[in-house]
Amino acid sequence: MSRTTEKGVEILFFCSAFFSAFLTLALFGFMLTLGLPLFAEGRFFSILIQPWAPHLGHFGIHPMIAGTLAISLLSMVFAFPLSLGCAILISVTSKGWTSRLLRKAVEMMTGIPTVIYGFVGIFLLVPLVREFFAAGSGMCVLTASLMLTLLVSPTMILFFCDSFERVPVSYGTAVLAVGGTEMQRFLHVTLPHSWPGILIGFTLAIGRALGDTLIALMIAGNAVQAPGSILDSARTLTAHIALVFAADFESLEFKAIFACGMFLYLLTTLLVMAVRLLGCKRKRWAR
């Protein structure tokens, strides 16, 4: 390969990296430009507080913010202990081939499509919830959170397992050498040393939960009001975007979904920064 061809290929590598980064910025730029009419009269902060009632001229996304937070946080309440428990099962409680088999099963679970969870949710879980609680339609925050738990848990479990494995073996052998059990080694050495990794896994899972569209769209009910209880129907920002998309493009209603997009973008950026800060803490911890 001649020098000029080599130089050309290297420039191509450079351009790919920078163009991709540029697209990320362009995305935000598009959201901003297309959502601008909505912000024109200084309505920016009112968007975050007002309710959603387009016929009254209210384009607030506050109910959707509440819905997103409610569903995501509730699913994390279920998913975090579940994932931690499963990670402990794979790393500590089970041994040898059972441990490997379980881990393979969890890895395969990460490949299950989201729409499948939504589909089964509608026809299996919703009626169950409706009958069990004898209230509402069954399409509520609780149902969506339960399915979301199944969605985010496998990745979180794998992340926790990797965090446990990264703790140097030498730390734990001291416990075993004085007659401690594997569980004692885990509780006294591995767990305290992997907290930064656990927090990172938790943050990444929250990001996944906040960003999900289909599950909330299909089984959370989509009522445009902030949920008062876990049996209330709710709408997430993501589902809102999908639903309002059917409206007329020129209307202010439509522009509001770009505001949702921007809000989600900023939320993602915050979470990424949080993960980075925790990552720095993990490096310091390791030393």
Partner 1 sequence: MRRVLEQVVVHFSRLCGIILLGAVLTVIGYLFVHGWSSLGLSLIFGATPPLDALLMKRNVFNGLFPAMIGTLSLVVLAVCWAVPAGMAAGIYLAEYAGPKIKAVLNLFFDIMAGLPSIVVGLFGFAAAVFLNRKFSGAIHPCLLISSLALAFLVLPYITRTTQMALEGLPLSARMTALSLGATRLQNIVRVLVPQSLTGIVSGIILAIGRCAEDTAVIMLTGVVASTGVPRSLLSHYEALPFYIYYISAQYTDSEELATGYGAAIILLCICLVLFLLAFAIRKRISYYALYRA
Q: Which of residues 8-47 bind partner 1 (CB under 8 A)?
A: 9-10, 12-14, 16-21, 23-25, 27, 30-31, 34
Q: Of 45-53, 56-64, 132-140, 256-264, which segment contacts partner 1 by CB under 8 A?
A: 256-264
Of 86-145, which residues contact partner 1 (CB under 8 A)?
86, 88-89, 92-93, 102, 105-109, 111-120, 122-124
Q: Report how far residue 76's alpha carbon sits from residue 83's, in angstroms, rounded to the nearest whole number.
A: 10
How many residues contact partner 1, by CB under 8 A?
81
Q: How far is the CB of 64 from partner 1 (least distance, A)?
A: 12
Give the orientation angle of helix 141-166 with respect to helix 62-88, to 10 degrees.
Answer: 40
Instruction: Choose between 31 and 224: whose C-beta lies nearer to partner 1.
Output: 31
Phi, psi for 238 (deg, rounded to 5): -65, -45
Instruction: Choose between 107 and 165: whose C-beta lies nearer to partner 1.
Output: 107
- The residues with which 52 forms a beta bridge, in sequence order, are 59
- The residues with which 221 forms a beta bridge, in sequence order, are 234
Amino acid, res. 198: I
Residue from 66, 73, 82, 226 touching partner 1 (CB under 8 A): that is 82
Beta strands in the chain (DSSP E): 52-53, 58-59
Provide the mask over 176-215, with x wherever binding to partner 1 is found by CB under 8 A and - wherever it is not.
Answer: -----x-xx--x----------------x--x--xxxxx-
What letters, b where the CB count within 10 A reaches 16 and e where it falls short, cover 18-42?
eeeeeeeeeeeeebeebbebbbeee
Amino acid, res. 180: G
Instruction: Choose between 8 and 168: whose C-beta lies nearer to partner 1.
Output: 8
Q: How far is the CB of 203 from partner 1 (least distance, A)?
A: 10
Q: How far is the CB of 120 from partner 1 (least distance, A)?
A: 5
Instruction: Choose between 30 and 228: whose C-beta lies nearer to partner 1.
Output: 30
- The residues with which 59 forms a beta bridge, in sequence order, are 52
User: Residue for token digits 């007002």?
Assistant: 50
In the structure encoding, which two tokens stand for residue 286, read together? 């390791």
